[in-house]
Amino acid sequence: MRAAALLLALIASGLVAAQDYPSKPIRLIVGFPPGGNVDVVGRIVAQKLGEGSMIANEYVAKSAPDGYTLLIVSGAFVTQAATTRKLPYDPLHDFTFISTVVTYPLVFSVRADSRFRTLDEFIGYVKSNPGKVNYPSPGMGTLYHLAGELFVSMAGIHMQHVPFRGGAEPLTEVLSGRMELLIDALTNSYPQIQAGKFRPLAVSSLSRSPALPAVPTVAESVPGYEALSFTGLGGPAGMPAAVVERLNREVRRALASPEVGKRFAEWGGTPSASSPEEMQRLVSAEIDKWKKVVAARKLELQ
């Protein structure tokens, strides 16, 4: 909850001067337990935690649209919408989207002593050994699972997905050598990369990450590939326009803080304020993108 708490503190400091809003404490709902990276910048973990985030989403969707109950919207928000048969809320119409906060790529990594030094080498090996390489994820329908399915499809290879029920288990599987490739948020893998435990092969953004400027993009080997995640701020549908505008302004002010920029850079993220309309379009586009992957790969809805 470190980034969420830091951001809320900076937003709150800017709201203090307001005479009409806020007149009481604002609740920021984070649908994940403290200590995981989702409440830092969006970690998606096991199925049970996914259920917890859906409960948080539903709670906010049904709250009064007065600006006093807000939601941290993460990559899990869009992948749940793409992979869940029936949600207890409408992911587009039951929320007010205020601003994105940070965006970050995924990173494709192998153990530091792996035989693979480039993504092209890895793809070539898998093509020569179809079905013999597995990749882990924290669970079915998570961003990391869907990013892997998109990669398999676009690269023309066959890998077996192995879902786990915990955020740390995929990392452990690759560190132990039981599996070859880890697809994870850069914000999660970055400390392991810095510690020399992982070798990054590629990042999933279309341009190289400032955090790993020497690491190529997946798109340099698989043209057009992109898989990103984000964290943003939302609330119930129907929030007053003046409150949304005020919150958006304070998010932008908070993200301009050198302290916030430094903290996000340490996690491999990029501060990314947006207009409410831009965040709405992003959420809609990401849901559509992953729904197409689910359909094309014939994945079972949860």
The average pLDDT across 124-143 equals 94
Joined tokens for residue 6: 């830091």
The average pLDDT across 121-142 equals 94
Whether 216 has a pLDDT exceeding 80, the answer reads yes
pLDDT, one tens digit per residue, over 185-199 is 988 888 899 999 999
Q: What is the pLDDT of residue 35?
A: 45
The average pLDDT across 140-151 equals 96
pLDDT, one tens digit per residue, over 266-297 is 778 889 999 999 999 999 999 999 999 999 99
Is residue 6 very low, low, confident or very high in pLDDT (cuts 50, 70, 90)? Answer: low
Q: What is the pLDDT of residue 224?
A: 97
pLDDT, one tens digit per residue, over 65-85 is 999 999 999 899 999 999 999
pLDDT, one tens digit per residue, over 14-58 is 665 555 788 888 888 887 655 444 434 433 333 444 566 889 999
Whether residue 51 contacts residue 76, with contact meaning beta carbons closer than 8 Å, is answered with no
The average pLDDT across 98-108 equals 94
Whether 163 has a pLDDT exceeding 90, the answer reads yes
Across all residues in the chain, what is the average pLDDT?
A: 87
For the question of whether the overall pTM of this predicted structure is more than 0.85, the answer is yes
Q: What is the pLDDT of residue 48?
A: 40
Strand-strand pairing, 95-111 and 228-236 = antiparallel
